[in-house]
Chains A and B, each alone.
Chain A
C-alpha cells in the first residue's frame, strides 16, 4: 500500500497512489464532468464522479462545515464525506480532487475547509488534490500535463456544445424524450472518445462535433411554440449544478421556458484573463502574462471553429469571449474579478441583447462577489435595458424551495407576458 507522505501538514498524492487510489470528483457541471472524468481515466487515474444527491449528503455537509460557509462548499464537503462514510470504496485507497481558483473570493479556501472537515470526520489520511493552474499546491502523483490539459479543454468544448444543443432542442422536441435519448447515445460515444489514450486534436474532433450537431438537428421539433428564453447566470457552482440549484434547468423547462446557460469555458478564460489583468495593472511576471494570453487565443481559435459548425447546424452558437468581455464596458471594470466578477455582469448583458432578457441570477446565500457583480449591477442594467427581467435567487441548504419557486414563477410570468405582448397572435 502506498505510504502517506506529509508536506507542511498536508497529505500528498504520491506516484504510488496514482495507481492504487480512486480519485473522487464532485459533480459541478452535469454536461461537462463526465468527459473530464473520462479524460482523467484515459491518463491513468482511477477517477470516479460523485453523482449523489440525497438528503444524507446535505446533513453531512452541515455537520462538518461552518454553517456560514456558502452552499457550494457545504454540498461538496457533504458529498465527499457521505461517499466516504457509505464505504463503497476502501477509504484508505481514496483521494479527492477539488478545483482551487485562488482569487479574492472565499472559494479558494474550500480545499482547506475540506481538509478540516475530513480531519474532524476521521478521514485525515485522505489526500486532497488541488486542481489549479496557478501552481498553488504540488502533488507528485498528479500532474496537469499538456496532454491532460488538452483533453480537459476538449471536454470543456464538448460539454458546452452538448449543453447548447440540448437546451436549444429539448423544449421544442415533438416526441418527448427524443433529446434525452440522443444525448445518452452521444454521451456513450463521447465516453469512448475521451477514454481513448490518444489525444484527438484535429480531424476526429471536428468529425465528432459535426456528427453530434447533425444528429441534434435531425430531432423533430416544433419551433412555432413561443417559449421565453431564460438565462441562468451566477456563482459557478449553483449556476450549473442541479444539486446546488434545486434542478433549476428542469424547473424552468417545466415552466415552459427555453434555458440559456452561458458556456463554462468563458469562466475559465475569464480566470486566465484576470491574471493577465493583474499582472498588467499591479505587476507580475511578463512571461506568465504572455503564456496566458497565448492560451486564451488558442482556445478562442478552437472555439471559433466549433462555433462555425454549430451555426451550420442552425443552432445559435453564442458569442465569443472577446465579445462578452467588451459588453462589460460602461457597466463594471474588468478589474472586478473576484468570484465571477465582471463576467457575471457581462453575461447578463449578453443574454439581454440576445433575446433572453429573463434571467435567474443564482447565488449561494451570503455570496460576497455576487453582492457586487450580481445584485449590485441590477439597477444599472435595468436603466440601460428596461426590458431586463432579472430575479436573484439565494441558494442555501436551509432555504425553502417554495420561496425560490415562487420568485422564479414571478420572473417567468413576467417573461410570458412580455412574450405575449410581442406576439399577440401566438399568445394563446
Chain B
C-alpha cells in the first residue's frame, strides 16, 4: 500500500499543506499566511497536522520558492512549483492549452503542446503580484477582497503602467488624488496585472484555447479572472477546486521519498532554525550599539521642535498651511510667533477633499473666537484642488514651502532631504536660495509607504515596526534598487528565517541607501552638501530610518519633530509672510457644512494626447479641472501657442511626410519608430526617387502598444522599443508590398570630434527582434538589411540585392536616390536647426525662459513623451531640443568615450547652454536605457561644473505627469532665483 503523501507549498506569503492517500484523494489540507516566519509557521502547521492525523508516517515533498532552501537544508524532497502545478493540472483535467499562475511573488505561465510543456516565469521587474495587490488595497483603504468587490462595478479603465508594481503605483496614486472613482481604479489595477502578465510572459505565444487559472490572486479574485477573460476573449476557462492548495496537491502527487514521521520533520525544522541564525549572509551592523546610544539619539532629535500652545490658550492671528501630499494630507495652524496651535496628519484614503473638509471642521470646532485666521495657503500634489475647493488665499510650490520650513529650524541649512510616502525631494541651499533640486524618478518612488504597508501586512503599526528595528542585532541587506526588488529580498530573508526585527532594520537601511545612492547620488554627503542637513518627511519619523541615515552619512542631522508636517508648516509660514489687514478667504464652518463636490471624469479631445480629465465641481459653483497637460484642457485661453516648441515642430515635420502626396506603384511600409523619427526624411525621398511609395505605420498610442505587447520578448527593454511591435502589426494591416526596417549599427557621421558614431544596441538591431518574435506575421515581406548611411557605394551594394524582388533598379539609380535622400535629410536637419535658432532668439526677445528638453529623436512621439513638451510650454517656456542646437556647440572632448551620435549631441548642447542665460536643460531618459546611465552623469557634470541646474525626467509607459509638473515648476522657480539672484 502506498503511504500517505504530504505536499507542502511554501510560497512567498502563505504555506499550504495537503495530505493525500493512495487514491490521490485529499485527506487533509491546511492553508496559512506565514506572516514573517516561515519555519515557525511551518512548525505550527505540522503540530496541527499531527493533532489531526496522529503520529503517522508521511512521504513529504516540498514546493514553492520559499521552501527551496529549507527543503535542501533538512534533506527533504523538493519539486519546483511550476512542475508541481503541471502535475496537479494533468491529474485534474485533460486538454489544457495554457495555464496562468499568479502568486504572491512570482507569475508563471505554462503552454502545453501535447506532452511538452513550455514554462515561463516573470522577469525580476515584474515580481510581486500578490504583494502589489496588497499595497494597492491599502491605498484604497481596503483589503484584497475589497479590491475585488470594488472592481465589480466600474465604468471605465484607466491606463496604468504595467511594467512593475512601482510604476503602476505612480500612475494610481495621482488618480486617487484627482478623485477618480475607486471602482474604476480597482478594475484598472487588475487590467494592469493582465497587461503585465501578457506583456512579460506570453513572448509571442497567444494565450488562447482552454486556459487554467491558478494561484492566490486568481483563485480569490473573480474580477481579476474576468479582466483576463474579457481582455483575451477566452471562452473555456478552468478554475480548480481547492485552487489555493492546488500546487501543494501537485507536490503531494510528485512525492516519492520514503515516509517519515511528522515528528522527525519537525525536529529537523527546529534544527534548521537554530542553525540558520549563525549562517545568515549579507547582514549589517546593528543600528544602535547600546540602549544608552539610543536614548541619547532620541533626546537629541526631540530638541528640534516648535513651541506648542494649546488652541484654547491662544489668542490673536493665526495662519493655516495645508499640504495635500500624494498619500497624506497635513494641516497646521500657527500663531503670530510661530507657535504650533494645531496639527493634523492623515491618510488621503483616496479622497483628499473629504479629508481636508473633515480636518477643517474638526479644527473649527475647537477654535476659540479669540483666534482670527488671517491667511491660508496650500501646497503639494493637490495644491490647486484644495486651493480652489476651499477658497484658500493662495498656494505655493512644495519645494519653496520646504525651504521656508527648513530655514526656520536651521537658518544655515545647506541641504534638505524629504522622504515622503511616495516621493523623495532633496535640495541644496546656498545663501538662502535653492541651487539644485533632486527629485526621485519613478523607480525610487513609494519607499516610504512601502515600509508602512509592509508593517501593516505583518499586523504591526508603523510605530511598533520601527521600534522593532532598533532592537535588531543583524539587519538584513535587502538591496536598494526599488521596492519590487526589496520585496523579493524580504521574501528571501523570510524564507531564511530572518526575524521581523532584522527585516525592519534592513528596510530602513534600504530606503536610506536608495535615497543616498540612487536619488541624491552622493558619495560624500558632507563634502557635496555641507553639514547642516535637515531631514524631514513622514518617513523620518521612523527612528530606524533616521538612524540609518546618520550612520550611512556619518553626519548628525536635524530632524524636526514635525518632520511629517514641514510642507504644511512652510505653507503656513508663507501664509504668515503674506499677511495683510484682510481676513482669510478660507471657508468657514457654516459654508463647510454645506460643502459638497462632484467629480466627473472625461477625456479631453482637443488634441491627440487625450488627457483623462477630472472635473471637480464644488458646491460654490467653482470648477477645478485636473489631469490636463495644457491649458486647453482646463478650458483656458491658449495665448502661448506662439511660443516655439521644437518637439511639436519636429513631430509636425515628420507627419508632413506621412501626409505628403506620393506616386509610385510599389508600396513600402516603414514603421515610424526609434531612429526612424529622424531618418524618415532620408528614406521617404529615397524610395520616392526609386518610384516607390512609403506607407507609414499608425501613430503611437496605448491601443497600438497593446496590439503588439504579446510579442515583446524582454520586459525590461525601453518603452520606445516595445512600441515597435505595435507599429509593425499596424503595417501588416495596410497591405504593403514589403516592410522595410534596416539595422543601422552606425549613425550618420555628424561631428569629427566624437570617438565614434554608433547607434545604441537597441536602435541598431531591433529589426532582428521583430523578425525573431513576430513570426505569426509573414516575415517574407519583412526586409531588414544591415546598412551604412555614410558610404553610398556600400549602401547600394547591399540595397540592390534587397530591392530586386520588388522593383527593377540598378545600383546607379540607388546611388542617385541615396544622394536625393541625403539631400533631404540634411535639409531637414538644417531646418530643425534654423527653428532652434529662431526659438532661442524668440526666448531672448520676449524674455522667456527656455528649456532644452534633451533626449533622443524618438522622444518627439507624444506616446513616449506623454505630452511633457506641451506641458512645459504651458508654463510659458520655450521648448528646445538637443538636435536643434548641437550645430552651434563648439567641438570639445568629454571625459567618457563619446561614441554614440545621439549622445554626442547631448554633451555638445549641455556645454553650449552653460554660456546662455535663462536657458536650462532637462534630460528625458527612457526607463531601461542603459546608455543613459553614462550620459546622465556626464551631462550632469558638464552642467553643474558651470553652475547650471541639472534635471532628469525618467519616462516610461507611466502617463501621469503629476510628479513631473511639480518637478518642472520647482525647476522654473529655482531657475528664476538662480538667474536673477
Contacts and interface: CB of A to CB of B under 8 A. Distances in A.
B897 A108 contact: yes
Contacts of B81: 406
A392 interface: yes
A251 B724 CA distance: 38
A67 to B, nearest CB: 4
Interface string B378-421: 00000000000000000000000000000000000000000000
Most chain A beta carbons < 10 A, residue from B78, B479, B759: B479
* Closest A-B pairs by Cβ, 7 of them: A398-B479, A335-B786, A398-B481, A112-B896, A376-B769, A68-B933, A338-B761
Given A365-B716, A366-B930, A121 B773 contact: no
B931 interface: yes
A403 B761 contact: no
Nearest to B798: A281
B118 A382 contact: yes
B491 A339 contact: no
Interface string B739-761: 00001011000000000101111
Given A108-B899, A373-B768, A413-B80, 17 more contacts: A62-B480, A66-B934, A67-B481, A67-B518, A67-B521, A70-B933, A102-B899, A109-B934, A112-B934, A281-B788, A281-B798, A338-B745, A371-B769, A372-B766, A376-B713, A398-B482, A403-B488
A64 B522 CA distance: 8
Contact of A377 (B118, B743, B772, B786): B772
Contacts of A382: 118
A146 interface: no
Interface of A: 8-9, 55, 62-64, 66-70, 100, 102-106, 108-109, 111-113, 115-116, 120-121, 136, 278, 281-283, 331-333, 335-339, 365-373, 375-380, 382-383, 386, 392, 394, 396-403, 405-407, 409-410, 413-414, 417
B282 interface: yes
A396 to B, nearest CB: 7
B203 A379 contact: yes
A401 B492 contact: yes
B791 A402 contact: no
B915 to A, nearest CB: 21
Contacts of A136: 897
B745 A8 contact: no
B786 A376 contact: no
Interface in B416-442: none
A403 B937 contact: no
A134 B503 CA distance: 49
Contacts of A406: 65, 68, 80-81, 106, 121
A9 B895 contact: yes
5 contacts: A103-B758, A109-B899, A113-B934, A113-B937, A283-B788
A336 B772 CA distance: 13
Contacts of B895: 9, 112, 115-116
Nearest to A117: B523
A399 B282 CA distance: 13
A331 B932 CA distance: 29
A397 B479 contact: yes
Nearest to A380: B772
A122 to B, nearest CB: 8
Contacts of B558: none
Count class of interface residues, chain B = 35 or more
Contacts of B82: 410, 413
Contacts of A336: 743, 764-765, 768
A373 B771 CA distance: 12
A375 B716 CA distance: 11
Contacts of B513: 62
Contacts of B762: 368, 371-372
Contact of B477 (A55, A70, A278, A371): A55
A379 B775 contact: yes
Contacts of B524: 120
Given A112-B896, A383-B775, A402 B933 contact: no
B900 interface: yes
Contact of A400 (B83, B492, B714, B771): B492
B826 to A, nearest CB: 20
Contacts of B794: 281-283
A8 B524 CA distance: 26
Contacts of B124: 365, 394, 396, 399, 403
B651 interface: no
A68 B745 CA distance: 23
A62 B523 CA distance: 10
Most chain B beta carbons < 10 A, residue from A278, A332, A371, A399: A371
B764 A402 contact: no
B172 to A, nearest CB: 23
A134 to B, nearest CB: 10
Nearest to B83: A413
Interface of B: 65-66, 68-69, 78-83, 105-106, 113, 116, 118-119, 121, 123-124, 127, 203-204, 282, 477, 479-482, 485-486, 488-489, 491-492, 495, 513, 517-518, 521, 523-524, 713-714, 716-717, 721, 743, 745-746, 756, 758-762, 764-766, 768-769, 771-773, 775, 786, 788, 790-791, 794, 798, 893, 895-897, 899-900, 928, 930-934, 936-937, 941
A69 B716 contact: no
A112 B933 CA distance: 12
A69 B106 CA distance: 25
B479 A368 contact: no
A392 B123 contact: yes
A333 B786 contact: yes
A410 B82 CA distance: 7
A181 B65 CA distance: 35
A394 B716 contact: yes
A291 B791 CA distance: 23
A402 B69 contact: yes
B760 A109 contact: no
B517 A62 contact: yes
Contacts of A413: 79-80, 82-83
A113 B830 CA distance: 34
Nearest to A104: B758
Given A70-B930, A372-B768, A403-B106, A282 B790 contact: yes
B288 to A, nearest CB: 20
Contacts of A106: 930-931, 933-934
Given A377-B772, A396-B481, A402-B66, A335 B745 contact: yes
Contacts of B790: 282-283
Nearest to A387: B116
Nearest to B897: A109
A111 B897 contact: yes
Given A70-B930, A104-B745, A376 B772 contact: yes
A368 B930 contact: yes
A120 to B, nearest CB: 4
A397 B124 CA distance: 12
B476 to A, nearest CB: 11
Contacts of A401: 492
A339 B121 CA distance: 25
Contact of B489 (A9, A105, A282, A398): A398
A396 B478 CA distance: 12
A66 B520 CA distance: 11
Contact of B480 (A66, A111, A379, A398): A398
A4 to B, nearest CB: 17
A368 B934 contact: no
Contacts of B491: 400, 402
A338 B764 CA distance: 9
A372 B712 CA distance: 11
Most chain A beta carbons < 10 A, residue from B482, B772, B895: B772
B775 A380 contact: yes
A55 B285 CA distance: 12
A400 B489 contact: yes
Nearest to A115: B895
A399 B768 contact: no
B746 A410 contact: no
Contacts of B897: 100, 102, 108-109, 111-112, 136
